[in-house]
Amino acid sequence: MQILFQASEESPNFHGLGVVPTTIDRFDDFVKTVPHMGWNSADLVQSPDVEPAFYYFVHSYCAKYCPADRPDAASWAYTTTQYGGEIFISSVRRGNVFGTQFHPEKSGAAGLALIDNWLRTPEAERSASKPESLCSPPTLSLKPRDNLSKRIIACMDVRSDDDGNLIVTKGDQYDVREKVPSGHSMQVKTGGAVRNLGKPVTLASKYYAAGADEICLLNITSFRHSPLQDQPMLAVVRAAAE
DSSP string, the chain: -GGGEEEETTSTTSB---SEEEEEEEPP-SSS-SSEEEEEEEEESS-TTSPPEEEEEEESEE-B--TTT-HHHHTTEEEEEEETTEEEEEEEEETTEEEESSBGGGSHHHHHHHHHHHHHS-HHHHHHS--GGGSPPPP-PPPSS---B---EEEEEEEE-TTS-EEEE--BTTB-EEEEE-SSTT-EEEEEEEP--B-HHHHHHHHHHTT-SEEEEEE-S--TTSTTTTHHHHHHHHHHH-
Kindly indicate the confidence band of residue 127, based on its pLDDT and cuts at 50, 70 and 90. Answer: low
Over pLDDT 90: what percentage of the chain?
A: 55
Q: Is the pLDDT of residue 128 over 70?
A: no
Domains and CATH numbers, the chain: 2-134 (3.40.50.880), 153-241 (no CATH)
Kindly indicate the confidence band of residue 61, based on its pLDDT and cuts at 50, 70 and 90. Answer: very high
Per-residue confidence (pLDDT) for residue 182, from 0 to 100: 63
pLDDT in tens, 142-159: 999 999 987 788 999 998
pLDDT in tens, 1-25: 999 999 999 999 999 999 999 999 9
Per-residue confidence (pLDDT) for residue 223, from 0 to 100: 62
pLDDT in tens, 161-210: 888 888 999 877 667 888 776 665 545 555 678 889 999 999 999 998 99
pLDDT in tens, 90-116: 999 988 899 999 999 989 889 999 999
> The whole model's pTM is what?
0.69
Over pLDDT 70: what percentage of the chain?
A: 87
Residue scoring higher pLDDT (187 or 58): 58
Per-residue confidence (pLDDT) for residue 164, from 0 to 100: 83
Residue scoring higher pLDDT (40 or 180): 40
Q: For residues 55 and 40, what is the distance between their CA atoms, to the nearest angstrom?
A: 6
Residue scoring higher pLDDT (136 or 182): 136
Q: Is the pLDDT of residue 242 over 70?
A: yes
